[in-house]
């Protein structure tokens, strides 16, 4: 059945003519949005910061996790600690060094590896591909692969458990906006790939329904001599992303979408100039994202809208309450705004509620919920 949102933009009381710009004096704007910034919205102007709570009780609350403290060194990525998950997506963290002595194949979903630290080589059914920090490695479901780390490597694993990763529709911007598909790299059947082929005994560990099976071969199964098609591993580095900018308007996170999946999206925040228009907000706006849980993995840089957050930490803002910049960040943006944002972060917005697994719960920063309190409270 065809359907459409009920949409009839209205105005009531003292409000701005343009969202996120020229707010009424002494007010704090809060956006209530549907469908992850793609649906209907309302912008409410408050006398007080929407995050100005002084107490919090109950299971719903914002979280910060220090993933750096999770023991995640494993010989097998399929055994990497589970952190946050639902029916659509599973987030794991994995540290490794040296060369894997077996192959893995995920039959439960596509893998998206974000390289937080390190460099090395990926060998897979399609050939050989080098990786470095800041790379996304998109590995389709059913691909056999292994890692040879040249330097100790730390990955965020984002498993798409229901469907395949796709690129966002860039609409009027055209297909070359944000990043040109021509920057996507694929594995090559190069000399390094041929050199690793041998007649020794190899195993493939296969994950299906979250259980591991092991298949043994009397040779290396990565013995492809040629292939063709458009289902393959691809590599994208955040340094090849050219973010959308508006000097007069703070763009929503959806403008930075990198990959789309069933039930969630992956966005990448990269360095960019700050909005220069005097009336434009220069930090993320307060908002209720009442259909999505929001996860942010902090990769590098100065995380300008957050206090006491370091690289390798993760925040989770479940839907159901307003959130936005910390008080110090908001004050600085009003009194002494920066001119450039030097940060890189990966955001995962999920349509279904996320569960916090034991590994993440053990590194939960309990005081994070109080970090929005105004100084002195």
176-235 residue pLDDT tens: 999 999 999 999 999 999 999 999 999 999 999 999 999 999 999 999 999 999 999 999
Query: Quick one: how many helices (H) and strands (E) in the chain?
Result: 3, 22
The DSSP-derived string for 139-198 is E-TT-EEEEEEEEEEEEEEEEE-SS--BPPP-GGG-TTSSS-GGG-B--B--HHHHHT--
Give pLDDT tens digits for 128-146: 999 999 999 999 999 999 9
Residues 12, 13, 19: CA angle, nearest 5 degrees: 70
Residues sharing a CB contact under 8 Å with residue 89, sequence separation 6 or more, in sequence order: 158, 159, 160, 161, 261, 263, 264, 348, 350, 354
Residues sharing a CB contact under 8 Å with residue 83, sequence separation 6 or more, in sequence order: 65, 67, 70, 91, 92, 93, 314, 356, 357, 359, 360
Q: 28-46+60-65+243-370 and 72-238: same fold?
A: yes
CATH architecture type of domain 72-238: Sandwich (2.60)
Q: In the chain, which residues have pLDDT < 70?
A: 304-305, 374-377
Torsion of CA 53, 54, 58, 59, to 10 degrees: 60
pLDDT score at 36: 80
pLDDT score at 4: 85
Of 87, 91, 237, nearest in space to 157 by CA: 91
The total of other beta-carbon atoms located within 10 Å of residue 121's CB is 17
CA–CA dist 67, 83 (Å, integer): 9
Q: What are 27's two structure tokens?
A: 């007010």
Segments making up each domain of the chain, as ranges:
28-46+60-65+243-370, 72-238
* Residues, the chain: 377
pLDDT score at 377: 47
CATH architecture type of domain 28-46+60-65+243-370: Sandwich (2.60)
pLDDT score at 289: 75
Q: What is the pTM of this model?
A: 0.95
């Amino acid at each position: 059945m065809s359907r459409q949102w009920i949409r009839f933009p209205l105005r009531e009381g003292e409000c701005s003519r343009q969202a996120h710009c020229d707010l009424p004096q002494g007010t704090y704007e809060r956006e209530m949005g549907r469908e992850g910034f793609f649906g209907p919205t309302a912008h409410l102007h408050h006398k007080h910061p929407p995050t100005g709570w002084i107490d919090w009780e109950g299971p719903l609350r914002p979280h910060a996790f220090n993933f750096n403290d999770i023991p995640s060194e494993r010989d097998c990525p399929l055994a990497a600690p589970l952190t946050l998950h639902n029916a659509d997506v599973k987030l794991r963290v994995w540290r490794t060094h040296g060369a894997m002595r077996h192959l893995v194949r995920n039959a439960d979903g596509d893998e998206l590896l974000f390289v937080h630290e390190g460099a090395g080589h990926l060998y897979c059914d399609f050939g050989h591909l080098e990786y470095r920090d800041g790379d996304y490695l998109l590995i389709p479901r059913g691909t056999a692969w292994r890692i040879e780390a040249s330097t100790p490597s730390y990955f965020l694993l984002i498993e798409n458990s229901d469907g395949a990763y796709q690129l966002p529709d860039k609409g009027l911007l055209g297909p070359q906006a944000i990043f040109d598909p021509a920057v996507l790299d694929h594995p090559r059947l190069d000399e390094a790939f041929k050199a690793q082929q041998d007649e020794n005994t190899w195993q493939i560990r296969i994950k299906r329904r979250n259980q591991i099976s092991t298949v043994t071969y009397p040779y290396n199964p990565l013995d492809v001599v040629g292939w063709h098609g458009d289902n393959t591993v691809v590599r994208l580095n955040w340094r090849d992303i050219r973010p959308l900018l508006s000097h007069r308007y703070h763009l929503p996170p959806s403008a930075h979408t990198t990959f789309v999946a069933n039930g969630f999206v992956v966005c990448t925040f990269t360095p960019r100039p700050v909005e220069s228009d005097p009336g434009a907000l220069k930090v993320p706006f307060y908002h209720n994202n009442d259909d999505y849980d929001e996860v942010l993995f902090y990769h590098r840089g100065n995380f300008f809208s957050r206090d006491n957050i370091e690289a390798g930490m993760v925040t989770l803002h479940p839907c159901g309450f307003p959130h936005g910049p910390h008080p110090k960040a908001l004050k600085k943006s009003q009194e002494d705004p920066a001119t450039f944002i030097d940060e890189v972060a990966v955001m995962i917005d999920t349509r279904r509620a996320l569960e916090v697994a034991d590994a993440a719960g053990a590194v939960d920063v309990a005081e994070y919920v109080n970090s929005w309190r105004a100084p002195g409270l």
